[in-house]
């Protein structure tokens, strides 16, 4: 009888312990769920209340044609733009599509409503015939990449001859 009593007491203790664990588990799961829902709501509210502002480059021209030039000529053109965005424009990088095209850009921020310039040099040495080169400009704009283009029809150098070949 005593053994039966001890077994019943052990079973009752175990039942109470399991029930207490289940309550803690449910309580912990409820807390985690509530915290996650609050974080999602806060993120939605923040993104709706404060949309991200971007700068915007508005060029007077995005393409320039040098026309016909001679192979070996180095030609230059300046592209002018205005920041018509909502925040100062910061150009992080500008690069030509090949080593023959070299851009120079403002490294300081361009304020909202301000104008600035990107100067492009093109070296036509070794670049005969029709050429089209891109300058990729990366900044705090949306989209991040802006492209301007230069073109030229490069007249090839004539090969120099050593005169008639003697036989």
Beta strands 74-83 and 57-59 are: antiparallel
pTM here? 0.66
Q: What is the pLDDT of residues 58-112, one digit of tens each?
A: 999 999 999 999 999 999 999 999 999 999 999 999 999 999 999 999 999 999 9
* Mean pLDDT across 140-158: 96
Judged against a pLDDT cut of 90, whether residue 34 lies above it is answered with: no
> What is the b/e burial string over 16-49, where b = at least 16 CB atoms within 10 angstroms of the residue's CB?
eeeeeeeeeeeeeeeeeeeeeeeeeeeeeeeeee
For domain 57-155, the CATH class is mainly beta
Helix (H, G, I), strand (E, B) or coil at 28: helix
Judged against a pLDDT cut of 60, whether residue 20 lies above it is answered with: no
C-alpha span between 53 and 85 (Å, rounded): 8
More confident of the two residues 32 and 17: 17
**Can you give the residue ranges of every domain in the chain?**
1-51, 57-155
**pLDDT, averaged across the chain:** 79
pLDDT of 150 reads: 98
pLDDT of 52 reads: 86
- pLDDT-derived band of residue 166, with 50, 70 and 90 as boundaries? low
More confident of the two residues 96 and 30: 96
DSSP state of 159: P
Judged against a pLDDT cut of 50, whether residue 31 lies above it is answered with: no
């Amino acid at each position: 009888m005593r053994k039966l009593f001890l077994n019943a007491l052990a079973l009752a203790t175990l039942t109470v312990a399991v029930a207490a664990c289940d309550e803690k588990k449910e309580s912990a799961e409820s807390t985690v769920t509530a915290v996650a829902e609050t974080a999602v709501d806060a993120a939605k509210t923040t993104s709706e209340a404060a949309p991200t502002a971007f700068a915007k480059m508005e060029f007077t021209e995005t393409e320039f044609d040098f026309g016909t030039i001679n192979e070996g000529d180095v030609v230059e053109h300046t592209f002018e733009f205005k920041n018509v965005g909502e925040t100062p424009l910061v150009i992080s990088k500008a690069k030509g599509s090949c080593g023959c095209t070299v851009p120079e850009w403002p490294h300081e921020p361009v304020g909202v409503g301000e104008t600035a310039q990107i100067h492009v040099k093109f070296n036509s040495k070794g670049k005969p015939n029709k050429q089209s080169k891109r300058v990729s400009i990366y900044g705090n704009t949306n989209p991040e990449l802006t492209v301007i283009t230069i073109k030229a029809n490069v007249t090839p150098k004539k090969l120099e001859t050593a005169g008639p070949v003697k036989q």
